[in-house]
Chain A
Amino acid sequence: MSAAFSLYQSRDSGLHRLNPLTKMTIALSGVATSLIVSGVWGNYLLFLLILVPLSAWGQITYSFLRAVFRVVWPFAISIFLIQGLFWTDGTPVIDLGPLSFKAEGLLFAVISVGRILLLVGSFTLMTMSTRPDALMIALNQRGLPHTLSYVVLSAIQIVPMFQAKANKIVEAQQSRGLETSGNLLKRVRALLPLVEPLLLGSILDIEERAIALEARGFGRRVKPTSLLILKDPVWEKILRWAIVALVLALLAVRIWLW
């Protein structure tokens, strides 16, 4: 069976024990800060001085860095190439035949990649150290409808199972002589006999799943209780408000300096 479609890495660490709302506040403040900070190296410094130590606290540094760089490097290369080579009226610093890298373009690329790094890093840290169901339960307790959180959570677990089902259908059709390799046209044609069983099968699965959920009282209009205990000590509540205040202060400074 396939694993859940989630980046979560189970560890017994202080970061993992933080309330999901605290980690979400850190992630959202990381996103906001990445857009507020205007300096060339500011976002890189925040990544190195806040996110990397937090990942070390969570005992996930290696997998965290690997996941972040996997996402960031394709963006980084394309941004450096496009902004560096096609910056209009810039100062050439490296010549490549008819094209040249412009200093202003490269500077813009450094700033943009820094923003992406902090943004991706903030969310990766949260998803790697927070169980998705814990986050959703925390949000449910703050008023998020549990049907909405169900959609998010079931997608995380059920998408890989649908992928496995799709693979089975491909194998079944291949064993009956369906050609799935070759040029683009052949591959597109091969998709058609796969779509119908997957689509119809999935609709039937969804119907059964809805019945199974109703049989377990999912449709009841009462506020559900939870087996999972989410600790939320006072210091974490203060920390969350402090983070929000800090981001607002940064924003105010940025507007004032503008």
Chain B
Amino acid sequence: MVYLKNLTYRYPRGESDVLHDINLTIQEGQFFALIGPNGAGKSTLCYVLTGFVPHFYKGKLSGTVTINGRDVFDTPLPELAGVTGLVFATPFNQISGARFTVREEIAFGLENFALPREEIIDRTEKVMKLFNLTDLAERPPTALSGGQQQRLALASIIVMRPRLLVLDEPTSQLDPVSTHEVFSALDSLINQEHLTVVLVSHKLEWVAAFADRVAILDQGQIAADGPPEEILTSAELTIHGLTPTQFTAVSLMAQRTGLIDSKKALPVTLDQAVQFFK
């Protein structure tokens, strides 16, 4: 699905490479989480995966990126819009400003793709239901709260049915209930439609609960890559300035104090923690 080969990138007027010799393969239907300290290059990698590097941000680029068989560097940005979708942290900036109700805001992308009205209605209604936005359908997007706006931003991208969904800290402004709603919706989308998701998040508890695979990005390079149980309990995590989930931290303390057998595998989710302490 997604192939990155020897990818190196430097922003215009940048003094060093933001991404350096990245090799990555993400399978279709995989929920891939990217974690790392601030300034590691996570957002830049999101821009590469959605074609904004090099089509929007120029700079010095080498290597290849292929998504669903298309070379990202050779495909114009408007063509990529239906293949990859990007949602980022600031909800206000993702509102188009061109539509006056939530329903029409969600339909905006489909209108740009010139889809028939019946299909626009069908898709919009389904997505509003999925993201719990039906009751807000007639409200102006600007009148929503930050959390509601972020759900709207996600719905506006999901409705376009991209094959690869790239989420750059999409839940950073959401409360725990909304965060759970968003992750559950994404999980069901992956299961039902084989959507491939790349998620950048600092909320490691959620990453552990939903991701199939986790990679640590630091100083523009992939420092570790593997299943959540392996990466989120490894020493690499703290080496790269990240803190383990609360479940892992408590369990580690229990092992160190001799409360639990030190050979037992450390948990990363709530369910695993319950089993760990049983």
Size of the A side of the interface (Cβ < 8 Å), in residues, is 39
B76-89 to A contact mask, C-beta < 8 Å, 1/0: 01100110011010
Q: Which residue of B lies closest to A6 (CB)?
A: B100
Bound-state CA distance A145–B114 (Å) is: 15
Bound-state CA distance A154–B145 (Å) is: 19
Bound-state CA distance A113–B47 (Å) is: 56
Bound-state CA distance A209–B85 (Å) is: 14
Bound-state CA distance A154–B140 (Å) is: 13
Binds B, one of A42-50, A74-82, A220-228, A240-248: A220-228
Binds B, one of A102-110, A183-191, A210-218: A210-218
Pairwise interchain contact B93-A205, C-beta atoms closer than 8 A:
yes
Binds B, one of A58-66, A88-96, A157-165: A157-165
Size of the B side of the interface (Cβ < 8 Å), in residues, is 47
A2 — which chain B residues lie within 8 A by C-beta? 142
Which residues of B, 135-186, contact A by the 8 Å Cβ criterion? Answer: 140-145, 153, 156-157, 160
Most buried by B among A1, A153, A216, A217: A216
Pairwise interchain contact A227-B103, C-beta atoms closer than 8 A:
yes
Judged by a CB distance under 8 angstroms, whether A208 is at the interface is: yes
B144 — which chain A residues lie within 8 A by C-beta? 1
A229 — which chain B residues lie within 8 A by C-beta? 117
Instruction: Tell me which of A1, A205, A211, A226 contacts B111 (CB under 8 A).
Output: A226
Least CB distance from B153 to A in Å reads: 8
Least CB distance from B259 to A in Å reads: 47
How many inter-chain residue pairs (CB < 8 Å) link A and B? Answer: 126
Pairwise interchain contact B142-A157, C-beta atoms closer than 8 A:
yes
B141 — which chain A residues lie within 8 A by C-beta? 157
Judged by a CB distance under 8 angstroms, whether A150 is at the interface is: yes
Judged by a CB distance under 8 angstroms, whether B194 is at the interface is: no
Judged by a CB distance under 8 angstroms, whether A133 is at the interface is: yes
Q: Which residue of A lies closest to B104 (CB)?
A: A227
Least CB distance from A215 to B in Å reads: 5
Bound-state CA distance A210–B56 (Å) is: 9
Q: A1-B142, A208-B93, A212-B96 are in contact. Are A225 and B103 (CB under 8 A)?
A: no
Least CB distance from B125 to A in Å reads: 11
A215 — which chain B residues lie within 8 A by C-beta? 50, 81, 85-86, 109, 157
Least CB distance from A225 to B in Å reads: 5
Q: Which residue of A lies closest to B99 (CB)?
A: A133
Pairwise interchain contact B96-A131, C-beta atoms closer than 8 A:
no
Q: Which residue of A lies closest to B103 (CB)?
A: A227
Q: A214-B52, A215-B50, A217-B81 are in contact. Are A227 and B109 (CB under 8 A)?
A: no
Pairwise interchain contact B112-A216, C-beta atoms closer than 8 A:
yes
Pairwise interchain contact B120-A225, C-beta atoms closer than 8 A:
yes
Q: A133-B99, A214-B78, A220-B78 are in contact. Are A227 and B142 (CB under 8 A)?
A: no
What are 12 sample pairs from A and B whose C-beta atoms fall under 8 A apart? A3-B143, A4-B100, A211-B52, A211-B88, A212-B93, A214-B52, A214-B56, A215-B85, A217-B82, A219-B77, A222-B112, A224-B111
List of 6 A-B pairs having minimum Cβ-Cβ separation, nearest first: A154-B97, A216-B109, A217-B112, A208-B93, A217-B81, A227-B107
Residues of B within 8 A of A (CB): 47, 50, 52, 56, 77-78, 81-82, 85-86, 88, 90, 92-100, 103-104, 107-117, 120-121, 124, 140-145, 153, 156-157, 160
Residues of A within 8 A of B (CB): 1-4, 131-133, 136, 149-150, 153-154, 157-158, 160-161, 205, 208-229
Sample of 5 more A-B contacts, CB < 8 Å, known A211-B56, A225-B110? A136-B98, A219-B77, A219-B78, A225-B111, A225-B114
